């Protein structure tokens, strides 16, 4: 204090400026992150796993197809050569005499890869769906967007009468009708009149072409067309996009995730890549919900209103103003999602629906060996499981730290 007081006012000014170095928002968050113990431990665990698995994948050859030695079947861990087992197996060997240490290291490559790819799928698909749902729930459609949305709605809904009458162009008629409905909305026509007009037009679009097929078909498609026309005349708010997306997400969420993943794998067939897709698809609704609610919470902010009033386009508002402001919860969810994905991948592998043997994967290794537990081969179960738990814990610790670092107010 006395030191500063001794300086001239001019010196003080300069000193002040140099003392306050530039600190970005993310830089601050990083500083908070590495100052917390949990995040540091998490980062260390994750780094160790990523480094060992990638390095060994590229620099330590392993061929699972040729790796078996029945003379070394189910040997307990040894750190020094013994009379019985001359080679060193720090984690013991499994039912085919394979070194478990080596398979845990190489299996990590598969497990982490599954985690990364499947979270990528959930993040991209769920994120986009959530953005759309959240944005158009809180904001009116621009007129060009309304025309496009209603055309697509017309096309999709019109597909049903088109299929029934076996005449493809009926769907196109409804797409045009939808486009017109979106365009006419600007003229604020008398409401009941508009409804009646569109219902009639829809009925005609459905019935007339179907008359070529048979009268009974025309009756059904005509009634359907009536309903579609009415719907197109009414559905002009952006919330239909959000409603459709979120209802589909609700249906997906009605099934427990494990069941859905198993079902998807049963449909696609087993294999690591199929497992990635299954886990990724199952994770989509969580991201969509999170992103939607985050978008809803920022969409009413003044800066969004401001950018709207200066006439910025919707795409620009979404990617320049909304996305940067909802990144924190998404980053946290992605980290936690990685932990979950690794866990699910291991579960699928354990059930024999993940990696195809003899490919090493932690869950599959457990599934391979757990029957030998009763005969005392604890090492074949302990180490792959520890690897799963530690890597999942690492991502959870990091996610926890990230949450505190990115938004000190946010807690779960």
Partner 1 sequence: MARYILRRLITLIPTLIGVTFVIFMFQRLIPGDPAIAMLGEHASEENVARIREQLGLNRPLFLDREALRNGDFAGFFDTQYIRYLDRLVHFDLGNSIHRRIPVAETLALRFPATVELALLAMLIALSIGIPVGIISSARRNTPVDGITMVGSLIGVSMPIFWLGLMEIMLFSVFLKWLPTGARLSTGIVIEPITNLLLVDSVLTGNWAGFKDALQHIIMPAVALATIPMAIIARMTRSSMLDVLQEDYIRTAHAKGLVEQVVLLRHALKNAFLPVITIIGIQTGSLLAGAVLTETIFAWPGIGKWVYDAILGRDYPIVQGGTLLIALIFVGFNLLVDISYAYLDPRIKYD
Question: With respect to partner 1, which residue has the nearer C-beta, 68 or 220?
Answer: 220
**Using omega within 30 degrees of 0 as the cis cutoff, is the peptide bond preceding 347 cis?**
no
CA 254 to chain centre: 17
Give min distance, CB of 317 to partner 1, in A: 29
Least Å distance between CB 385 and partner 1? 3
Least distance from C-beta 133 to partner 1, angstroms? 15
Closer of 152 and 351 to partner 1 (Cβ): 351
Query: Residue for token digits 């354990």?
Result: 350
Nearest distance in Å: CB 47, partner 1:
17
Q: Supply the DSSP string of 355-406, one letter for each residue.
A: SPTTS--HHHHHHHHGGGGGGT-THHHHHHHHHHHHHHHHHHHHHHHHHHHH
Residue whose CB is less far from partner 1, 238 or 399: 399
Q: Smallest distance from the beta carbon of 116 to partner 1, in angstroms?
A: 17
Quote the least distance from Cβ 403 to partner 1, whole Å.
10
Residues 6+ apart with CB under 8 A from 67: 96, 98, 99, 358
3-class DSSP string for the chain: CHHHHHCCHHHHHHHHHHHCCCCCHHHHHHHHHHCCHHHHHHHHHHHHHHHHHHHHHHHCCCCCCCCCCHHHCCCCCECCCCCCCCCCECCCECCCCCEHHHHHHHHHHHHHHHHHHHHHHHHHHHHHHHHHHHHHHHCCCCHHHHHHHHHHHHHHHHHHHHHHHCCCHHHHHHHHHHHHHHHHHHHCCCHHHHHHHHHHHHHHHHHHHHHCCCHHHHHHHHHHHHHHHHHHHHCCCCHHHHHHHHHHHHHHHCCCHHHHHHHHHHHHCCCHHHHHHHHHHHHHHHHHHHHHHHHHHHHCCHHHHHHHHCCCCHHHHHHHHHHHHHHHHHHHHHHHHHHHHHHHHHHHHHCCCCCCCCCCCHHHHHHHHHHHHHHCCCHHHHHHHHHHHHHHHHHHHHHHHHHHHHCCCCCC
Q: Which of residues 311 and 376 has its CB atom nearest to partner 1 in the complex?
A: 376
Considering the complex, state which of residue 72 and residue 398 has its C-beta at the smaller distance from partner 1: 398
- In the bound state with partner 1, the residue whose beta carbon lies nearer, of 60 and 378, is 378
Nearer Cβ to partner 1 (190/247): 247
What is the closest distance, in whole angstroms, from the C-beta atom of residue 352 to partner 1 in the complex?
9
We find the least distance from the C-beta atom of residue 56 to partner 1, in angstroms, to be: 22
CB of 395 to partner 1, least distance (A): 8
Half-sphere exposure of 240 (CA within 13 A, CB side): 14
* Angle separating helix axes 100-138 and 362-369, nearest 10 degrees: 130
Task: Give me the residues that bind partner 1 (CB under 8 A), please.
Answer: 38, 163-166, 213-217, 220, 247-248, 250-251, 253-256, 258-259, 262-263, 266-267, 269, 339, 343, 346-347, 350-351, 363, 366, 370, 373-374, 376, 378, 381-382, 384-385, 388-389, 392-393, 396-397, 400, 411-412
Nearer to partner 1, 269 or 324 (CB): 269
Q: Which is nearer to partner 1, 279 or 388 (CB)?
A: 388
Minimal distance in Å, beta carbon 286 to partner 1?
12
User: Min. distance of Cβ 127 from partner 1 in angstroms?
Assistant: 22
Closer Cβ to partner 1, 151 or 217, answer by number = 217
- Of the pair 38, 52, the CB lying nearest partner 1 is at 38
């Amino acid at each position: 204090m006395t030191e500063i007081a001794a300086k001239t006012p001019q010196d003080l000014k300069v000193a002040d400026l140099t003392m306050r170095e530039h600190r970005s928002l993310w830089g601050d968050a990083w500083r908070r992150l590495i100052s917390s113990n949990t995040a540091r431990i998490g980062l260390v665990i994750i780094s160790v796993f990523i480094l060992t698995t990638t390095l060994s994948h590229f620099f330590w050859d392993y061929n699972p197809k040729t790796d078996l030695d029945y003379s070394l079947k189910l040997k307990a861990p040894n750190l020094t050569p013994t009379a019985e087992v001359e080679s060193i197996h720090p984690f013991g060997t499994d039912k085919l005499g394979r070194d478990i240490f080596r398979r845990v290291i190489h299996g990590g490559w598969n497990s982490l890869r599954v985690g990364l790819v499947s979270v990528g799928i959930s993040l991209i698909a769920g994120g986009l769906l959530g953005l759309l749902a959240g944005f158009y729930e809180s904001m009116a459609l621009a007129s060009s967007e309304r025309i496009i949305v209603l055309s697509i709605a017309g096309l999709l809904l019109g597909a049903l009468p088109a299929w029934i009458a076996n005449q493809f162009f009926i769907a196109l008629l409804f797409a045009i009708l939808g486009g017109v409905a979106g365009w006419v909305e600007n003229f604020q026509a008398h409401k009941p009149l508009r409804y009646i007009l569109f219902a009639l037009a829809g009925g005609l679009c459905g019935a007339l072409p179907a008359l070529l097929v048979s009268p009974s078909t025309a009756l059904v498609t005509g009634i359907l067309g009536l309903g579609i026309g009415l719907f197109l005349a009414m559905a002009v708010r952006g919330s239909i996009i959000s409603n459709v997306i979120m209802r589909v997400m609700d249906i997906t969420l009605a099934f427990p995730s494990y069941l859905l993943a198993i079902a998807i794998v049963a449909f696609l067939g087993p294999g690591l890549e199929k497992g990635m897709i299954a886990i990724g698809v199952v994770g989509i609704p969580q991201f969509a919900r999170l992103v939607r609610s985050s978008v809803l919470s920022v969409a009413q902010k003044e800066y969004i209103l401001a950018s709207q009033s200066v006439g910025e386009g919707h795409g620009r508002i979404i990617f320049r103003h909304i996305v940067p402001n909802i990144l924190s919860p998404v980053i946290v969810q992605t980290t936690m999602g990685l932990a979950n994905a690794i866990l699910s991948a291991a579960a699928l592998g354990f059930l024999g629906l993940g990696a195809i043997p003899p490919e090493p994967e932690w869950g599959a290794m457990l599934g391979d060996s757990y029957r030998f537990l009763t005969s005392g081969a604890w090492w074949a179960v302990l180490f792959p499981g520890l690897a799963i738990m530690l890597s999942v814990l690492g991502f959870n610790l990091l996610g926890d730290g990230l949450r505190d670092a990115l938004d000190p107010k946010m807690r779960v």
